[in-house]
Amino acid sequence: MHIQESGEMYLETIHVLSKKNGSVRAIDISEYMGYSKPSVSRAMSILKGADYIEVDEHGYITLTDTGLEIANKMYERHTLLTEFLIRIGVDKETAADDACKIEHHISEASFEAIKKFAESENRK
């Protein structure tokens, strides 16, 4: 099943918030992303139905193994692309914004090439 860009963004946000806060609820996602509570609620329903997240009886959201795999992929892309753009002279804020846009559309081949290049530059 192919997940849409918005779904990837939600999964990455859940991952970031869970690393930062330990637990995540829909209100945390709403505040972090600046989205309305109904929008987040609808997205959580879709992600739950697709088995990317689980929501317990108290409203705490956790990623399933599949959801975590996608979230980790997006987080790695975002982090590496941000660092790469900063290293080539882009300011931090612009780099983070652009990385967020690129991470959802870049091919696996291009991302792996950038990753390999960045790793080789780190060894110099």
- Give residue-wise pLDDT tens across range 1-55: 568 889 999 999 999 999 999 899 999 999 999 999 999 999 999 999 999 999 9
CATH of domain 74-122: 1.10.60.10
pLDDT band with cut points at 50, 70 and 90 for residue 121: confident
| Confidence at 120, pLDDT banded by 50, 70, 90 | confident
> Per CATH, is 5-69 categorized as 1.10.10.10?
yes
Mean predicted confidence (pLDDT) in 86-95: 95
> Can you tell me the distance from the alpha carbon of 10 to that of 67, in angstroms, rounded to the nearest whole number?
10
Q: Where in the chain is the domain with CATH 1.10.60.10?
A: 74-122
Instruction: Determine the Cα–Cα distance for residues 87 and 118; give it in Å rounded to an integer.
Output: 9
CATH 1.10.10.10 location in the chain: 5-69
Amino acid (one-letter) located at 102: I
65-86: pLDDT as tens digits: 999 999 999 999 999 999 999 9
- Give the 3-state secondary structure of 67-88: HHHHHHHHHHHHHHHHHHHHHC
pLDDT number for residue 42: 95
First CA to last CA across the chain, in angstroms? 40
- Neighbouring C-beta atoms of residue 4, cutoff 10 Å: 11
